[in-house]
Structure 1
Amino acid sequence: MNRPSRAFALPVAISAALVLSACSSSGTSADAEAGDGDWAPVTIEHALGTTKIESKPERVATVNWANHEVPLALGVVPVGMASADFGDDDGNGVLPWVEDKLDELDAETPTLFDETDGIDFEAVADTQPDVILAGYSGLSQEDYDTLSEIAPVVAYPETAWGTPWREMIEINSEAIGMKNEGEELIADLESEIDSAVSEHPAIKDKSTMFLTHVDPSDLSEVNFYTTHDTRAMFFEDLGMKAPASIAKASEETDQFSSQVSAEQADVFDDVDIIVTYGDDKLVKTLEDDELLSQMPAVKNDAIVNLPGDQPLGTAANPTPLSISYILDDYLDELDEAASNQK
């Protein structure tokens, strides 16, 4: 179906799905009432509005990156979730830690939403959700408004793509009536992180930046994630810190990424370790560049390059299920980079 016809059909598709949902719920009203138990309406304020969830959600859908991991971690299988398009090693749209959790719960893979060209509203509507979780997302107001025609939507608290993993768990778990369980999950993950980090004292207090959007054919700019991005935030969880140069640049923007010209690369003389997405070819490109090669982290080969076609590529962006799966490997990579620092 081409895009114009899809757009034309969308309101009809959503309306049909809502009618089906109403018919379905009317046939299971006794179960729904019994399932509500001690449920009290939940009101959640977020960046795109205020969402009130009147009754206990039985059918949970999620959109955008990793939101499905919150209900899964708490034992709730979504009816639909976004297909993974980054770090997927076998092309099935499901990352390995999610597969493991589905196996543990003896559950089939939920409907996968292809978000290559944005939210597939028709596919979401077809799953007939009671709530749509998007606590970590980049939803536009238009996206939110359209999804809200399908079911109550919980969007990001403040900044698009800027919800720390703890807050992602908090807002999504509250939306499905599992706030206490969400808090327990956070505490467990914090304990796990602290234990793992204690085995890697070499990275403690290392100033670390995340170099991003590197175009080997044009190195005229240095792009990096600011302290508003979850990848940079995670460095603090791991006992590292933001370089003063990154912290200062982050004060001048509310965006999750920023850039400076390569001629100003010496501003990053305070960076001990660089994390980026790429491969050995990318590292060599940086080392061969007249300006960027002068950055201490490049000069010392103190670089962690995460492969985008492997699960390890997602390590820098912590999520409820990936932390346990990836953490040790990520720390090993950071440890090796730290050992190269002179």
Structure 2
Amino acid sequence: MQRASRLVALSAAAFLTIGLAACSSSSAEEGTGSGDGFTPITIEHALGTTTIDAKPERVATVNWANHEVPLALGVVPVGMAAANFGDDDGDGMLPWVEEKLEALDAEPPVLFDETDGIDFEAVADTNPDVILAAYSGLTQEDYDTLTEIAPVVAYPETAWGTSWRDTILFNSEAMGMADEGEALVTQLEEEIGEAAAAYPQLEGKTAMFLTHVDTSDLSEVSYYTTHDTRTAFFEDLGLAFPESVATASAETELFSLTQSAEQADEFSDVDIIVTYGGDELIAALEADPLLSQMPAVANGAIVALPGTSPLGTAANPTPLSISWILDDYLKLLAQAADQAA
């Protein structure tokens, strides 16, 4: 009964939203006609094809990080997902988002609570012209429901596998700001290249990213594949994929895999380990009879990121977090590289 009531309410909200959008579109056409120079946009993605007929004025975003694209381009979303990881002050926004809003002299947008999934009614209430989700884990059902509210741009290929570059390019195109998006990518690439050049010890070192490690049970280890954005960022910083990780990743589309600790010797080609945790985690890895044999562990070449802080969150690169965290992250990686054999 609760689900039925929610869907009825959503349908009503979506109907109202579509009606309001139609009125707004009609008014815009009467005022400017085709003279606004906007060319309709068609974007193909993993969940369908989206056409945007008029330049969006009200931009909403769902799921992680998509809101950072419009913010980086000077556009404040009408609504965005609240941060539920790394939010050190509990206000639903990561520090680089707060700083950008302050720079734009803007009030915080509506924050969508996605603890139990997308809040479709809240999204509909913001009356968006477009919904950005190029970096997301939308299901087909999620996508279909959101399209009742406004045109939606989903991930291009793999759920949670969109690079920071494509997140910018897809979302900016959907906003009618493709050129600005390309300029932002170039700017960030130059910034990353200049910063990484100060740490030549990273060049060619191999790195793997362990997922959240359970120190009470080290019989298995899970790690992010090359499809995940955290590991893809390694290449931007001059690091390389270990052959062991690259080979396993080529056989799956998953963004993480799990392997028995008894096969830890397969990771003998890993110079640096990055993971979430602290001194307790490092001590547990070093004390484990199997995992301690991994060269990265034996050499102390471990970057243990505080998983609940902005620093840990920023290891997953996003348009605004890259500049905010880059120097600190590079220093930690360089320290680990210096420990590697």
Pairwise same-fold verdict (TM > 0.5)? yes
Please list the CA deviations of residues 172-230 of structure 1 after superposition, one character each: whole Å capped at 9, or x if unmatched. 11111111111111111010001000111111111000001322222221111001111
Distance 1:219 1:8 in 2: 47
Deviates more, 1:190-199 or 1:281-290: 281-290
Give runs of ≥4 in structure 1 deviating > 6 Å.
none
Name the residue aligned to 2:269. Answer: 270
Distance 1:300 1:35 in 2: 64
- Cα RMSD for the two superposed structures: 1.8
Please list the CA deviations of residues 58-111 of structure 1 after superposition, one character each: whole Å capped at 9, or x if unmatched. 000001111011111111111001111111110101111111111111111000
Structure 1 counterpart SS, 2:333: helix
Percent identical among aligned pairs is: 68
Please list the CA deviations of residues 109-133 of structure 1 after superposition, one character each: whole Å capped at 9, or x if unmatched. 0000111111110000000000000
1:126-275 aligned within 5 A: 126-275=125-274
Deviation at 1:18, TM superposition (A): 3.0
Please list the CA deviations of residues 279-308 of structure 1 after superposition, one character each: whole Å capped at 9, or x if unmatched. 211121211211111111111111111112
Check conservation: 2:273, 2:296, Cα contact below 8 A. yes
Say if 2:298 is the partner of 1:299: yes
Check conservation: 2:212, 2:277, Cα contact below 8 A. no
Distance 2:318 2:35 in 1: 28
The number of residues matched between the two structures is 341
Say if 2:102 is the partner of 1:106: no
Distance 1:295 1:4 in 2: 53
Name the residue aligned to 1:9. Answer: 9
Please list the CA deviations of residues 129-188 of structure 1 after superposition, one character each: whole Å capped at 9, or x if unmatched. 000000111100000000000000000000000011111111111111111111111111
1:43-82 aligned within 5 A: 43-82=42-81
Q: Which amino acid aligns with 2:264?
A: A
Deviation at 1:8, TM superposition (A): 4.5
Check conservation: 1:132, 1:151, Cα contact below 8 A. yes
Deviates more, 1:124-133 or 1:273-282: 273-282
In structure 2, runs of 5+ residues without a counterpart are: none
Distance 2:10 2:305 in 1: 38
Distance 1:136 1:89 in 2: 23
In structure 1, runs of 5+ residues without a counterpart are: none
Structure 2 counterpart SS, 1:275: strand
Name the residue aligned to 2:124. Answer: 125
Distance 1:93 1:36 in 2: 40
Deviation at 1:21, TM superposition (A): 4.0
Distance 2:191 2:86 in 1: 23
